[in-house]
């Protein structure tokens, strides 16, 4: 009859079932100091101030987790980097040497992070006299964003209603038909300040990069100078 040599090798966690894993048994898998390493090129070790750190074979630190200061440190001017699912496209990086942060287009547009908030401020000044009705000035939208709220402040108690029109460069100038404010125009009514914190039922007013904004005073009483602050979120 043919002979057969079969060797059964059982590999598993040391210790009988239910016994748990002791510190000594864990050490047989990963040695925290010395020459033992995953590839003989990097090792994991620890000292009195850090939970652990990864170093090259020459002793150069690569990564350090410091429990004392609650920090994760990238060593030797390295980068903290993230990649797409196929590990080929870098989605973000933070340079440990320069501090520069870079993100892909899913979280940035131009040099700004999507979701950033800013305030666009506009002043209408009557030069010592009451402001008059009509068009006051134009501005260009610097990037795609949503106006989420507005504030309006006056140098004195009075009333004013300001409309905002938006249109493309090709269609300049904007007209009343291009109003973005619906029924929520920046308004003072016998007051020196006012605000609207939930425009368009929380959906805001959409502004498009490169389009022209035109500010028009619909009505005015007494007020000589107002400041309008548009709170915007980058989209």
Q: How far apart (Å, rounded) are the C-alpha atoms in residues 67 and 197?
A: 42
Element of type H or E holding 191: strand 187-196
Among residues 118, 171, 177, the alpha carbon closest in space to that of 144 is found at: 118
Above pLDDT 70, what percent of the chain?
71
Cα separation values, 132 from 161, 200, 209, 218, Å = 11, 28, 29, 9
Among residues 61, 64, 56, 65, the alpha carbon closest in space to that of 76 is found at: 61
pLDDT, one tens digit per residue, over 143-170 is: 999 999 999 999 999 999 999 999 999 9
Of 171-180, 184-193, 199-208, the poorest mean pLDDT is in 199-208
Task: With a cut of 80, say whether residue 84 has pLDDT above it.
Answer: no
- Measured distance between the N- and C-terminal CA atoms of the chain, rounded to whole angstroms: 78
Kindly list the structural domains of the chain, giving each domain's residue range(s) and its CATH number in brackets, ordered by start.
23-104 (no CATH), 117-234 (2.60.120)
Cα separation values, 55 from 52, 180, 198, 201, Å = 10, 58, 52, 55
* CB count in 10 Å sphere of residue 38: 10
Amino acid 40: pLDDT? 46
Cα separation values, 88 from 79, 81, 82, 216, 228, Å = 16, 12, 10, 51, 46
Whether residue 201 contacts residue 149, with contact meaning beta carbons closer than 8 Å, is answered with no
Among residues 124, 128, 150, the alpha carbon closest in space to that of 204 is found at: 150
The side-by-side arrangement of strands in the sheet containing 71-74 is: 42-45, 52-56, 61-66, 71-74
pLDDT, one tens digit per residue, over 195-207 is: 999 999 889 999 9
* CB count in 10 Å sphere of residue 213: 20
Q: Is the pTM of this model over 0.75?
A: no
109 forms beta bridges with 112
Longest dimension (CA), the chain: 116
Q: How far apart (Å, rounded) are the C-alpha atoms in residues 174 and 178?
A: 6
More confident call, 144 vs 81:
144
Among residues 47, 91, 100, 53, the alpha carbon closest in space to that of 75 is found at: 53
């Amino acid at each position: 009859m043919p002979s057969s040599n079969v060797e059964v090798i059982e590999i598993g966690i040391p210790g009988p079932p239910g016994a748990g894993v002791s510190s000594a048994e864990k050490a047989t898998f990963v040695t925290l100091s010395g020459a033992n390493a995953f590839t003989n090129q990097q090792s994991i070790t620890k000292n009195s101030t850090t939970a652990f750190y990864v170093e090259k074979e020459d002793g150069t630190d690569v990564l350090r987790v410091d429990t004392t200061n609650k920090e994760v440190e990238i060593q030797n001017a390295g980068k903290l980097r993230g990649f797409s699912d196929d590990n080929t496209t870098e989605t973000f990086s933070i340079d440990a040497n320069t501090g520069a942060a870079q993100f892909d287009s899913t979280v940035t547009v131009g040099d700004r992070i999507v979701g950033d908030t800013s305030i666009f401020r506009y002043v209408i000044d009557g030069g010592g006299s009451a402001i008059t009705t009509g068009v006051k000035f134009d501005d260009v939208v610097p990037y795609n964003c949503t106006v989420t709220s507005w504030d309006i402040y006056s140098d004195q108690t009075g009333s004013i209603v300001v409309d905002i029109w938006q249109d493309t460069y090709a269609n300049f100038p904007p007209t009343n038909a291009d109003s973005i404010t619906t029924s929520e125009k920046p308004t003072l009514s016998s007051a020196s300040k006012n605000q609207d914190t939930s425009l368009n039922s929380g959906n805001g007013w959409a502004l498009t990069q490169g389009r022209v904004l035109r500010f028009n005073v619909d009505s005015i009483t007494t007020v000589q100078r107002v400041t309008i602050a548009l709170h915007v979120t980058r989209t």
